[in-house]
Amino acid sequence: MVLAKLKDGYDAAEVERIQAGLRALNCPGTVHYTAGTDAGLRDGNWNFVIVADFEDVASYRGYDEDATHNELRARLAPFVEQIARAQFEIPGS
């Protein structure tokens, strides 16, 4: 899971292109992958989110090292004020 708080005045069209690129990734071992913008249902939420499920740690590491993923990550970086990440295993999976 990744959450990002984007800087005021970020380029929304470029962020949408980055999200589309992320959604188009086809990294081996990806079970489910979603990237999008906060729905704005509560004040103070962060703008950008990725929720991704992988078959195993090796699949996550492959995604993390994927060249296209890292190019998209680099394009997003100038717009990011803060970022939070967490990886966890889902019990029973």
- Report if residue 33 sits inside a domain: yes
Relative to beta strand 2-6, strand 30-37 is unpaired
Three-class SS state of 56: coil
- Report if residue 52 sits inside a domain: yes
Q: Are 89 and 65 in contact (CB under 8 A)?
A: no
- Report if residue 40 sits inside a domain: yes
Rounded (10°) CA dihedral 9, 13, 15, 16? 140
Q: Tens digit of pLDDT for each residue in 35-80?
A: 999 999 999 999 999 999 999 999 999 999 999 999 999 999 999 9
CATH of the domain at 46: 3.30.70.100
pTM: 0.90
Number of domains in the chain: 1
- Report if residue 91 sits inside a domain: no
Three-class SS state of 81: strand
Domain residue limits at 22: 2-85
